[in-house]
Amino acid sequence: MTKKAKSSKRVCIRRKASRKGIFFRLKRVWQNKIFRLFIKSSIAGLIIAAFLISIFIIYCAIDLPDIEKLSEDNSRPHIIIRAGTEEILAHYGDIYCRSLTYGQLPKTLIDAVLATEDRRFFDHAGIDYFGIIRAAYKNKIAGRVVQGGSTITQQLAKIIFLSAERTIKRKVQEALLAIQLERLFSKEQILVMYLNRVFLGHANYGVDAAARNYFGKRTENLTLYESAFIAGMLKAPSRYAPPGGAEVALNRAKQVLSNMVAAGFISKRQMENAAIPNFINNARPSGLLVNQFFTDYILSELPKLIPNIKQDLDIHTTFSLEIQHNLEKAITKTLEKDNISKKIQVAAIVMNKNGGIKAMMGGRSYVHSQFNRAVAAKRQPGSIFKLFVYLAALENGYSADSYIEDEEVKIGKWTPRNFSRKYMGTVSLIDAFAYSLNTVAIKLSESVGREKVISMAEKLGIEDSLKNLPSLALGTSEVTLLDLVSCYAVIANDGMLVNDSSILNISNSNKKTIYRLKRGGIFDNSRVLEENVVSQIKDMLAASVMYGTSKNAAVPEHKVYGKTGTSQDHRDAWFIGIVDDLVLGIWVGNDDNTPMNRVTGGTLPANIFKEFMKMR
């Protein structure tokens, strides 16, 4: 045997030994029980995991929304609320314009949306796995969510079929629906459906509504910068919507333009030459009313007139923008002049004698708090409730000229006192009312019977339950400002019942009237107070303004009828005044019901009333 053959034989033997050694070691490893258990457990775990994932996907698919719903109209009815002089106060519901075709979408808008929202839109099948990995990486680097992985198809599935909840089930359903949409529709159809339905701020749905309401033009005529602006709004429409979000939205539009350059859709020179858009003056479809307490109230009352609203509505009301502006100015000026704490809230209602609301403030600022204190807040009225005590007395044998003793009153262990902590002795009812004597009000209430006082309040319009307690006469049962103003409007209306008549008529999108306030019904309703009683209570209200607790509300050249109210520990301060055919009610207090610093109905509320009347 040659040397070469011997060498080759030795190499072969070593290789066999080596292979034998590898197999031997693997065999020994496999014979290890712990290793075998690990491998078997891992395989079993993968099978179980795959099974559970499959079950979960099936579970998500069971109640998957029907794709045929794509053709259904799920928009909320568009409701317009107008002032008495036809100005639009507010829009509610969804505002849609034309349903565009792919050919009507400008290339700049398509490119802006794709560059920002989904660059691989025409390449993926509904789910962009590369996009998900890229977004996860960038979010990890940034330490927060800076990029999303959802495709336009997934976003379409979400806005049409799914809720906004953040759950694994919804994300799985979103992916399943996206795959289904991609199978049924072309890319162009999906993009058109998305841009026709996407929310773009201030109740605008679809790019055509945004183009018309922000720039006053058709979508086809959008400029490069305007297209970038609308595409930029897709990320956070409520934040970027003009006029409040215009500045941040323009900065966002610059980023969209940069994205378009990076994607190769436009050149850097085109980006630099793009003209900054101008917003139209009526770009805000929310209407002319800034503090929308009144329109919110009208919307809440609408179901009483038209249940199950399923059509667009145009509502005409008694509201006056001029009176509203004067009321807002009066409140702001008085608060600033008196250096009132920002914690203190104010609610006010101006109503005509027929029950039509002319102006309303449910708080100092609608932007900071949408809670309508004029309608929803139930507070102790204090002495302003004495109106019902004296009306009950006038209907049961007393008169404005009757005399009564102002003296210490004790009912059980309760000994109420006057605000001044003094007693005036023998006084007439008109003076007792003017000076708002607590002891006299309690004696009258106990004399005629609390049940009659409660009946009087309910007859005039108080809807809340009143407690039959000795303290009833001092206004310890909580009521709303709206109810109180409506009751005082009965006095302005010469004793005729007053109901809410703020909605004059309602028409649908076809201009057909579907509701009209019936004159001869609410306007000329039943008499609840006799003329003699109305005349005497007016004298008392006038006396309160001339020389009593309401004297700060006196306005030269105007006959003012009014009454103050202050609850225990200065927690609530009220004034309601009547001038001609208008009733203005004002409440001041803290939302947490804590005491104010010596604020009474005769100070801040009366001062607001006087400031408002100066503007007439």
Q: Is the dihedral of CA 527, 528, 530, 535 positive or negative?
A: negative
**Strand duo 313-317 + 345-352: pairing:** unpaired
Q: Is the dihedral of CA 362, 364, 366, 369 positive or negative?
A: negative
Q: Which two tokens stand for residue 574?
A: 């009220």
Question: Is the separation of the CB atoms in 576 and 550 below 8 Å?
Answer: no
- Nearest 5°: phi and psi at 338? -90, 0
Cβ atoms < 10 Å from Cβ of 370? 13
Q: Is the dihedral of CA 608, 610, 613, 615 positive or negative?
A: negative
Per residue, what are the HEC states of 115-181? HHHCCCCCCCCCCCHHHHHHHHHHHHHHCCCCCCCCCHHHHHHHHHHCCCCCCHHHHHHHHHHHHHH
| H helix or E strand, kind and range, residue 237 | helix 237-240
DSSP category for residue 474: G
Query: 420-429: which pairs have CB atoms within 8 A and are 24 or more residues apart?
Result: 427/403, 428/400, 428/401, 428/402, 428/403, 428/404, 429/390, 429/393, 429/398, 429/399, 429/400, 429/401, 429/402, 429/403, 429/404, 429/540
Question: Is the separation of the CB atoms in 348 and 359 below 8 Å?
Answer: yes
Q: Which residue is it, tokens 């909605």?
A: 503
Q: Which two tokens stand for residue 284?
A: 């805000």
Angle at 112 between CA 193 and CA 137, to 5 degrees: 95
Residues 117, 226, 328, 611: which is the catalytic one?
117
Residues 383, 445, 477, 502: which is the catalytic one?
383
For residue 348, what are the β-bridge partners? 361, 586
- Residue 117 known to be catalytic: yes
Q: How many angstroms separate the CA atoms of 502 and 63, rounded? A: 45
HSE-CB for 375 with a 13 A CA cutoff: 19
- Nearest 5°: phi and psi at 203? 70, 10
Q: How many angstroms separate the CA atoms of 139 and 152, rounded? A: 20
**Under 8 Å CB-to-CB from 31, ≥6 apart: which residues?**
none
Q: How many angstroms separate the CA atoms of 508 and 84, rounded? A: 18
Helix (H, G, I), strand (E, B) or coil at 572: strand
Q: Which residues are marked as active site?
A: 117, 383
